[in-house]
Amino acid sequence: MKLPVMKSNEFDAGLFQKRIRKVQKRLKKGEILILFAATHKIRNRDVEYKFRQNSDFYYLTGIKEEDSIFVLTSDAVGMFCLPKDKEREIWTGIRLGKDKIKSMLDLDFTYDLNDWDKQKSAILIGNHTLYYFFGENPDRDRELLQECKNLSERAREGKFGPHRIEHPYFLHEERLIKSKEEIQILKNAAEITKFGHMRIMRESKPGLYEYELEALLEQEYLKYGSIGGGYGHIVASGKNACILHYVNNDDRLLDGDLVLVDSGAEWNYYTADVTRVFPVGKKFSDAQKTIYEVVLYAQKNAIRQSVTGIPFNEVHEKTVLFLADCLREMGFLKGNLDEILEKETYKKFYMHRTGHYLGMDVHDVGRYFIDGKSRPLKDGQVVTVEPGLYFDPSDDSIPKEFRGIGIRIEDDILINGKEPINLTESIPKEVSEIEALKS
């Protein structure tokens, strides 16, 4: 399947204008939202990391240029952006410029970025509340705090600035529930991810290195218009699978070991997040298959439970209950189930959560608890379901055949009433499917 590639000149102005106006309606008189675009980050000396726009900034504006500043009040919307500069554009690419951006987004005002310092007081004056993602950029934090302080000292002039800074929770509430367009983008990301995972399942063999599988993933992702992985690839063979965020990816694949691959393609600013486990060779060992089947059953059950109205944390709690009971029955945990749960001894084998929100960010935005209670799932949310079991390779109390086994199985689930939709179910995960690919 050849997926459509989102080209740089395909800009859905109506989509972003609609989002801006929707968020604008949440603001009252005297409230202002300021968003800063991402900036280029230095990798070493004058070499920069590959640029990726801030998710919140892109969600509202669709603008991919660095260092821009978006300003929104109840009655005005504008942006400070990179100025047109022929010499700089020769080196780093064509800039949109303030006039084009104003037209694209139907803004009330635009300024060149170098006008920010002399305009920010006027932008903030008369607003009592500043909505801003405090803590993401210390330099910007200090700048805005200082400006608010400066304005507070002008009270005798009858002028004032923000005396309250709040997290723009309402923007993340908008991002939490995915539109039809967003769901389609996530489906595309999932489809690209499938090509990568299936290729490395087929091509893994003893003697290869983990980074060779990582390279195959990136090749498949890039081939279909993805920018690559939406997060660092985890390609963990053998005992490395017991390191949850293993990213070295530099060990040799050994016959008899498993490979845990946690990787998802990012397409048009939305990422998949998938984990699969498969043998380096052709077959699971009996011990590997035993643990794999337990985790797979837990995962399928958790997916079935991911329905509208269920508190998100309840899915995790039920998964813990099942896995703890299995570990007890297999002799890995001692005592009765209540004691195991109370003392959390299961965390020796299962130490992470069963899922998280997914979207533009792999750990996507949105509150998990409201008024101290786990938030019920809603239609249009996308979550991961990813139970696992990990057996410490250095723990002599574990039977030798199980030591170093790490299993996690993860899919991306669209909440849809009582019928959750698995966006990544076409990526093989049954033992028979995986071994058939390897034969």
Q: Give catalytic residues, as residue numbers.
A: 46, 245, 262, 273, 352, 356, 363, 386, 390, 408, 410
Q: Please, are residues 210 and 246 in contact by the beta-carbon 8 Å criterion?
A: no
- Amino acid in position 426: S
HSE-up (13 A, CA, CB side) for residue 119: 15
Q: Are 402 and 429 within 8 A, CB to CB?
A: no
Secondary structure class of 206 (helix, strand, coil): coil
Task: Count CB-CB contacts under 10 A for residue 216.
Answer: 20
CA distance 41 to 56: 18
Q: Which residues pair with 75 in a beta bridge?
A: none
Strands (E), 321-393: 369-370, 373-374, 382-385, 388-390
What totals of helices (H) and strands (E) does the chain contain, helices first?
Answer: 13, 21
In whole angstroms, what is the distance from residue 383 CA to residue 322 CA?
Answer: 20
- SS3 for 165-177, per residue? EECCHHHHHHHHC
Count of beta carbons in the 10 Å neighbourhood of residue 4? 11
Nearest-angstrom CA–CA distance, 185 and 51? 20
Instruction: Name 373's bridge partners.
Output: 370
